Amino acid sequence: MSVDKKTSQFRMGNKPLEGPDDAEPILPVAPPEKWDHEADLVVVGCGGGGLAGALVAADKGFTSIIIEKMDFEGGTSQYAGAFYAYNSRLQIKEGIEWDVNEVAMGNLFETGYTGDIHMFRNMIKKSGEVVDWMEDKGFEWEIEKGGYPAVTPKGTYDTIGLTRMTAVMNFLAEKGKEKGVKFMISTQVDALVKDSSGRIVGVKATVNPEGKTIFVKAKKAVLMAAGGMQHNRSLLKKYAPSVHKGVGSVSMSLPCNTGECFRMGIGVGADVAGLDSCTCFEGGIDLLEKGGPWFRYLYSGDVQISRAPWLHLNKACKRFMMMDNNLAQYMLRPPAMGAQPGGRAYVVFDNKYEENIWKIQDDVIFGTSCKRPLTTDVAGNKIATRDEMLCGKDWHEGVKEAIDLGAIRVADTLEELAEKLELDKVLFKQAIETWNKYCDAGEDPEFDTPARFLIPIKHAPYYGLKVAGSMGPVGTGLRVSPDMEVLDENQKPIPGLYAAFFTAGGSIGQGRTPMGFGLLGGCSMSTTSGYTAAEHAVSKK
């Protein structure tokens, strides 16, 4: 991963792992003659799951160590926009309450009955408990105004959406340090340590940049909370082939999520859950084919412009769905694009895009949504872009860079644009002409697209780009019990080993590619599962 702020906003871009050995199990090693460090709970990964797990252990009087390969705390969780929760005190006080089994059954139905109802119930119950736990420590929440079952840090609703959970992660890290949690940053876990009885008793790791090898003993358990396999295309091809084929880029999970903990779990005999599943947004621009990065942040201008409800065509130059800005588009557009020939759609707009994008984005709700073009004057810009380490502070930067890279094609004629998109020139021009007729009439007889989204394509130069799903958390991971114990292929817990989401799998069922937000979204699922795992791990004798 590069963080050169002087080059371009591809500074956090990456080439995913795709080597022949990148999907192989990582086998455990034997205990060393001497341990370098030890704690009751050893946590791999410093996102929501890891931070919550370590703090829970500390609350209960146990020692804990967090090992993080990046050089900062918070992981992908700090870039989340909402915390899904059910039946927290705050919600109940406001008259908002849910029947746990009804919610769990609804999620089970959404997975096509491929999910684990027992795990669903436990996560739903624990989500509200986690909110109360943090509130008891002094964290201030408020009800999420978006209308879905979520809470948000008090006073953050009007900031950019993906800055809100930064406050949650900072709070958990601060409380962990106050409680004596040891943080080992810039340290890469290389293997699990297994003793002769088959119990996981620690980890082998490398401290960077010096490259020193260390062994860390876990007297109670190892909790793997290092995220999923989003940036390991070899693992995706093997365990989630539809995801491998149907997404164009990764939008949320940082480039550190390369699946080593999943491979370590496989190496000690863990079972796999959630095969071939992921959550997804629109806007997965195929940058890899142009030499660009696999990771492309949701606030990057090219991603934002590609997510707008412009004209979408498939490879046969045919339309395939109604375009709108409603929330259902988050869930419906990615699988619709993936179902097209070649698994891609082609987004087309004209030189009036700077004017028109505001006309069709002004009703986007949920605070300053990641679908609204990023400008320098919005609250939270600095946090959202991480001082431009994730993306430029203005949406125009991303558009320009994608044009320069050739991911956004530009042409003076429709025929030329069709050629650059590798589409049939005659069919493409006919599709544009038909679309323009609908726009002029203010009515779409094919899909009933609302009139305000009928934006004609008449002003040269013309723009087009190939898009697919933009991947969030992968649902494929290690199979776990409702208490987050890692299970072997006989569905027995592997002694001493736990996994939080999204090292754990099964949160959105199996073969669901993609599937909206999943059970609790990303941040809450990670944090709640880490909390649950640690609570169970330290209670065992």
Q: pLDDT digits over 299-317, tens only?
A: 899 999 999 999 999 999 9
pLDDT of residue 2: 34
Bridging pattern class, strands 345-349 and 477-478:
unpaired
State yes or no: pLDDT of 486 exceeds 70: yes
Tokens of 302: 């090219």
Indicate the angle between helix axes 48-59 and 164-178, nearest 10 degrees.
30
What sign results for the dihedral spanned by CA atoms 292, 353, 423, 328? positive
Q: Rounded distance, CA 102 to CA 124, Å?
A: 11
pLDDT of residue 303: 92
Collapse the DSSP code of 174 into the 3-class scheme (helix H, G, I; strand E, B; otherwise coil) and give the result. helix
State the DSSP string of 195-232: -TTS-EEEEEEEETTTTEEEEEEEEEEEEE----STTB
Taking residues 273-292, report their average pLDDT. 89
Q: pLDDT digits over 70-106, tens only?
A: 988 888 888 777 899 999 999 999 999 999 999 999 9
Q: Rounded distance, CA 54 to CA 535, Å?
A: 10
pLDDT of residue 9: 39
CB contact at 8 A, 160 and 369: no
Q: Rounded distance, CA 424 to CA 435, Å?
A: 16
Q: Rounded distance, CA 426 to CA 432, Å?
A: 10
**Which letter, b or e, does each residue of 445-459 get, where b requires 16 or more Cβ atoms within 10 Å of its Cβ?**
eeeebeeebbbbbee
Tokens of 423: 């589409």
pLDDT of residue 328: 73
As a whole-number percent, the residues of the chain with pLDDT over 90 amount to 71
Q: Rounded distance, CA 442 to CA 445, Å?
A: 10
Q: Rounded distance, CA 44 to CA 222, Å?
A: 8
- Helix, strand and coil content of the chain, in percent to the nearest 5, comes to 35, 20, 45
- What is the DSSP code (8-state) at residue 162? G
Q: pLDDT digits over 487-530, tens only?
A: 999 999 999 999 999 999 999 999 987 555 678 888 999 999 99
Which domains can be identified in the chain, with CATH numbers? Answer: 9-79+163-277+475-539 (3.50.50.60)
- Output the average pLDDT for the chain: 91
State yes or no: pLDDT of 405 exceeds 70: yes
pLDDT of residue 447: 96
State yes or no: pLDDT of 369 exceeds 90: no
State yes or no: pLDDT of 538 exceeds 70: yes
Q: Which residue has tokens 């948000």?
A: 152
- Per the DSSP assignment, residues forming a β-bridge with 348 are 311, 464
Tokens of 79: 């870039």
Confidence of residue 262 (pLDDT cuts 50, 70, 90): very high
Beta strands in 261-407 (DSSP E): 272-273, 278-285, 311-313, 345-349
For 382, list phi and psi in degrees, rounded to 5: -65, -40
Taking residues 10-34, report their average pLDDT. 89
Decide which of 536 and 160 is more confident.
536
State yes or no: pLDDT of 34 exceeds 50: yes
Q: pLDDT digits over 98-119, tens only?
A: 999 999 999 999 899 999 999 9
10 Å CB burial of residue 462 (0-12, 13-18, 19+) is buried
What sign results for the dihedral spanned by CA atoms 270, 275, 281, 284? positive
Tokens of 141: 């929440």
State yes or no: pLDDT of 54 exceeds 60: yes
State yes or no: pLDDT of 4 exceeds 50: no
Rg, C-alpha atoms of the chain? 23
Q: pLDDT digits over 173-213, tens only?
A: 999 999 999 999 999 999 999 999 999 999 999 999 999 99
Taking residues 311-327, report their average pLDDT. 92
Cβ neighbours, 10 Å, residue 387 = 10
Q: pLDDT digits over 436-479, tens only?
A: 999 999 999 999 999 999 999 999 999 999 999 998 889 999 99
Residue type (1 letter), 85: A
CB contact at 8 A, 322 and 447: yes
Taking residues 348-364, report their average pLDDT. 85
Q: Rounded distance, CA 237 to CA 244, Å?
A: 5
State yes or no: pLDDT of 12 exceeds 80: no
**Nearest-5° Cα angle at 232, 32 to 227:** 65
As a whole-number percent, the residues of the chain with pLDDT over 70 amount to 94
Q: Rounded distance, CA 60 to CA 540, Å?
A: 12
Tokens of 359: 């006309």
pLDDT of residue 48: 96
